[in-house]
Amino acid sequence: MIAPARALLITMLLFGASAAQTEEELAQTAARAMQQHDYAAAENAYRQVLQLSPDVAEVHSNLGLACYSQKQLPCAEEALTHAQQLAPALFVPNFLSGEIRFQQGRYQAALIGLTKAVKIHPDHR
């Protein structure tokens, strides 16, 4: 006979194993949430992806966009800065960092990010 506490533990382990999502599934969940403008759900999914793959610049960039879309500027800045450190030539982190700094009245810092974004993708509107 299985003790009640042990039965609960086994049930939790089985449920947890079936509920775990792969990195790809989490990324798809985040992308769908972004398309549906559910930025909080996207933020949550991107954070879960980062637990599995912490050094993917694009995921940090997407997390930054999700935070920016919720007007969570400190969260956005942190994620975008991390993305820039991992991949300095990405457009979105440079552009959004410049945009955030501009909104904060930090015009010189904004100019640096926006200038770099234009150099990376000169045809982007």
Q: How many CB atoms lie within 10 A of CB 4?
A: 8
Q: How confident is the model at residue 124 (pLDDT cuts 50, 70, 90)?
A: confident
Say how far apart CA 58 and CA 53 lie, in whole Å: 11
Residue 10 counted as domain residue: no
- Domain count of the chain? 1
Half-sphere exposure of 115 (CA within 13 A, CB side): 6
Percent over 90 (pLDDT), the chain: 76
Look at residue 20 in the predicted model and tell me its pLDDT.
63
Instruction: Name the DSSP letter for residue 15.
Output: H
Residue 84 counted as domain residue: yes
Residue 16 counted as domain residue: no
Find tokens 């920016």 and name the residue: 68
Full-model pTM: 0.80
Residue 56 counted as domain residue: yes
Residue 106 counted as domain residue: yes
Residue 9 counted as domain residue: no
Residue 3 counted as domain residue: no
* Residue type, position 29, single letter: T
Q: Domain residues for 114? A: 21-120
